[in-house]
Every structure is written in structure tokens, then in C-alpha cells.
Structure 1
Amino acid sequence: MEELIDVIMREGDFHPSEEVVRKLLSLGEEVHFAPKKAVIEYGRINRNVYIVKEGILRVVYFEKDKEETYGFASPGTIFLSPHSYYMNQPAVMQFETCKKGSTCIMVPKAKFDQLLVESHEFARWMFDLAMGQFYTSEKKLKYIKGDARERIIAVLKYRPEILEVVSSRIWRRISA
């Protein structure tokens, strides 16, 4: 757990205290997901907040009959469905485990919201992570819309650990 706390504390530009990270983790429960299973399922409402403890998840969006890999979540990543969390609407993106499965800490929305109210430091940290997501989303558009070679180079450069856990079926889609 100490290694996870260290990784979480280094996410983003604002680095919270260990106390705040431990408080967040204490609000959740550990949930195990089998390989190739949805944690947040496209088209379903899931208002929980998750923290990846072990494994890597693939973030997928669906366009007509085609699925596209948007990104990956690794240990220390905090994620949710903005559509579900914020607007109580079905998820637009799916977070699913790769071929090794994953363990996440699941924090119910009500507990997460209460911590936002109670802790200015926590709220500041979450704002920083949200701004980082906006930045990353804009940056990713460039790579997703690029040709196959550009997408593979981007993964190799920015996320080489992904190569070990993503099935060849997914690689074919990324590089197609």
C-alpha cells in the first residue's frame, strides 16, 4: 500500500499530503476485476470513483460499430465516468481490464463528495487532476487521430509498459 500511496501522491502538479491520500483510500473498498471485464461499462450509470491499485485498464469509446482505445489507466490512476458522476447519465467511455485483470479501490460518490467538502487540500488536488485531464484529453486527440505509425510511436514513447498487458487484438486496432 505504501508504494501505491507514493504513486498517487506524485500524480499531477499538486502533491497532496500523505494524510489526505490515506483518508481517500480509507473511504473505499478493494474490488478485484477479472481479465477483460468492465470496471465502468459503456452505456451504464456508475457514479463511483476508482483508484487503480494493480493492473492496467484500457479506456475505450465506441463510435457506431467501432471501438477505439482512448488511453490506459495504471496503478495510482484515479478515474470515473464524468457523465455518470456529474450528470447521473450513462458512461460514454468504458474502463476495462486488460489480459491480467486488475484491483481497484472503489470510493462511493457520496463519500468522495463529503471529502471534497471537508478538505480544501483534497478539493485543490482534485481540481489539479481535473485540469490535467483536460490538458491530456486535448493532447491525446492529436495521437488518436494520427495514422497508425503515429499512434504506436506515442504509446512506445509515453506508455511503454502497456505493451506487456494489451492483447494483440487491441494492438491491431490501435495500429489499424
Structure 2
Amino acid sequence: MSNEILVQLACPSCTHPINIKEQGQHLECPACRSQLLLDGHVCPNCGEYHKVDSGFCRACGTAMTRTCERCHTRNWSGAEYCQDCGAALDIFQLLHLHNKQTTMNRLDEQMREAEFFKEKEKADSERRMATLLEQEQARVQAIRERQATQKKQDQQLIFTAVFVLSIFILIVTAFAVL
């Protein structure tokens, strides 16, 4: 992880720093080999220290405890052996749970991305539809204006034709009377 937290504790015997993330609840000083018992647990995934025993990390959601298959004792998830019976705890089970968590996180992220793209596409579609509607309204308005102009021109042409025809009839009638 890129934002990994390293938690260190000074050994009460020799003040040498002890990396508690690597060791879990039962600590051993690498310098003087003093044995210590840590009150609480450190998340094996993100390094968050939990003074109160909890089932899951409050920072990343990783399981903080594992149950021994032999004696059903709850152990810290980073422990290799059961604190009660000493049986080896299955590291493959921890890896499977971590991979399952990773897969679930990846699927959740993909669902959030899909929802984001769905909303973005919906907004883009609505924007395109609004643009097309504006263009269609402008086109219809332009057609109506051309029709009104054409109707006016047709009326003027009819009026001119009737006027010219009336004058022609008057001239023909005047010559016929003479």
C-alpha cells in the first residue's frame, strides 16, 4: 500500500525500536530479545493500532482476528500459531480472505465507476437532446417565417395580377365601346 503506516514502540528494557506491525500482539525486541505483550492489536493490512480488541479494522475493514480450526480460540489475524493450543494458523486462509476483500473492493470500485459513467452518459444524452430540440425548434421557426414570407409574396402577386387584369379589362372594354 502506498500510504502504509509503520508503528514502532521503544523496548522498555533497552529502548531499541520495535516494529509492532511485523510482530502482532506478542512482541520480541530484536536487540535484547525481551518478550512483551501488546495491549491491543495492529491491523496487518494498514498498520492502524487498535487498543480495544475488535473484529475488524476501523480504518480499512480488514479482519483483525482469526479462529483456530483446532480449538476455536480467537487469535490476532497476523499470528502464525494459536495462542491457546499452539497450532499453526493457516496463512492461506488469510490470503484467501485478503484476496476476497481485494476482489470485493475492486468490484465495488467498478460499480462506482459504472454508476459514474452511467450518470455522465445520462447528463451528456440530456444535453445532446436539449441541443437537438433547440435546433429543431429553430428549424421549425425558420420554416414558419419562410412560409409567412411566401404567403405574403403570393398575396402581393395575386393582388398585382388582379390589378393588371382589371386594368386590361377596362382598356379592352373602353376600346370595345369606342
Larger radius of gyration: 2
Which TM bucket (shorter chain)? under 0.3
Q: TM-score if structure 2 supplies the norm length?
A: 0.24
More strand by share: 1
More helix by share: 2
Q: TM-score if structure 1 supplies the norm length?
A: 0.24
